[in-house]
Amino acid sequence: MTVRSIGAYDFPSRSRQELYGDDQLVHLWFQENPWFCASACFRAPKAMTWGDFWNALVVPFAEEDPDFDPEARRVFTLHGAQFEPRDDQTLEEIGVEHKDVIGMRVLV
């Protein structure tokens, strides 16, 4: 079966950074979690601290998983490298950029 192209993609993305001002889209991938089959996307200010991001955005979303424990030990990755976020670090200080994916895996 052949594929017919609709042509060149030569218009600006509707989710480009400049449309979000000081905010950005941050994807959080719940690795090895059967409850969440895809990453979650949050709109968060670059200056938001990890503690605020975790408690205000991630925890309320993740609590939909009946097995979610906000106090569980986790491994986080960004750009393929492991990192250990501190509650007082901003997303920008951690190195999170627009549309980045943060991987999260619970240690058992």
Does residue 44 fall inside a structural domain? Answer: yes
pLDDT > 90? residue 96: yes
pTM greater than the 0.95 cutoff: no
pLDDT for the residue 48: 99
Does residue 7 fall inside a structural domain? Answer: no
| Dihedral in degrees, nearest 10, Cα atoms 36, 39, 42, 44 | 130
CA–CA separation, 98 vs 35, rounded Å? 25
Q: What range does the domain containing 58 cover?
A: 17-106
Does residue 43 fall inside a structural domain? Answer: yes
Does residue 8 fall inside a structural domain? Answer: no
Per-residue pLDDT tens over the stretch 31-70: 999 999 999 999 999 999 999 999 999 999 999 999 999 9
Strand duo 74-78 + 100-106: pairing: antiparallel
pLDDT for the residue 1: 80
Q: What is the DSSP letter of 6?
A: -
Question: Which of 2-11, 40-49, 76-85, 94-103 is predicted with the least confidence, judged by mean pLDDT?
Answer: 2-11
Does residue 80 fall inside a structural domain? Answer: yes
Does residue 53 fall inside a structural domain? Answer: yes
Does residue 29 fall inside a structural domain? Answer: yes
Does residue 82 fall inside a structural domain? Answer: yes
pLDDT for the residue 100: 98
* Total number of domains constituting the chain: 1
Q: Are 107 and 73 in contact (CB under 8 A)?
A: yes
